[in-house]
Amino acid sequence: MRLLVLGGTAWLGGYITTMALERGHHVTCLARGESGTVPRGAEFKRADRDGPDAYSEVVRTDWDVVVDVSRQPGQVERATAALAGCAGSFIFVSSVNVYADYFRPGDDEGAALLPALAGDVMETMETYGQAKVACERRVLNAFGPDRSLIARVGLIGGPGDIFDRTGYWPLRFARPAADDGSVLVPDAPDLMTQVVDVRDAATWLIEAGEDCLSGVFNVVGETLALPEHLAVAREVADHRGSVVSVDQEWLLAHDVAPWMGERSLPLWLPLPEYAGFSSRDGSAARTAGLVSRPLAETLADTLAWELTRDPERPRRAGLSDHDERRLLHALNAA
Most distant CA pair in the chain, distance: 69
Amino acid identity at 211: D
Q: What is the pLDDT of residues 180-197, one digit of tens each?
A: 999 999 999 999 999 999
3-class secondary structure, 98 = helix
Burial 200-230 (b: 16+ CB within 10 A, else e): bbbbbbbbbbbeebbebbbbbbebbebbebb
pLDDT of residue 34: 74
Residue 32's pLDDT is what? 85
Q: Which domains are delineated in the chain?
A: 2-153 (3.40.50.720), 160-192+224-275+294-333 (no CATH)
List, in sequence order, every residue forming a beta bridge with 44; answer none if it has no partner: 29
Q: What percent of the chain lies above the pLDDT cut of 90?
A: 92
Beta-carbon count within 10 A of 142 CB:
20
What is the mean pLDDT for each group of 10 consecutive residues in the chain (334 residues)?
92 95 97 83 92 92 97 96 97 98 95 96 93 98 98 98 96 97 97 98 98 98 98 98 97 97 97 95 98 98 97 93 97 87
CA distances from 133 to 31, 33, 92, 112 (A): 22, 26, 11, 11
Per-residue pLDDT reduced to its tens digit, 143-181 = 999 999 999 999 999 999 999 999 999 999 999 999 999
Whole-prediction pTM value?
0.95
What pLDDT score does 150 carry? 98
Pairing of strands 257-258, 223-225: unpaired
d(C-alpha 147, C-alpha 151), whole Å: 13
Q: In sequence order, which residues have a C-beta less than 8 Å from that of residue 90 and are 6 or more positions away? A: 65, 66, 68, 80, 83, 84, 139, 142, 143, 147, 148, 149
**CA of 68: how far to CAs of 30, 166, 280, in Å?**
10, 23, 23
> How many other CB atoms are there within 10 angstroms of residue 194's CB atom?
23
Cα atoms found within 13 Å of the Cα of residue 17, Cβ hemisphere only: 26
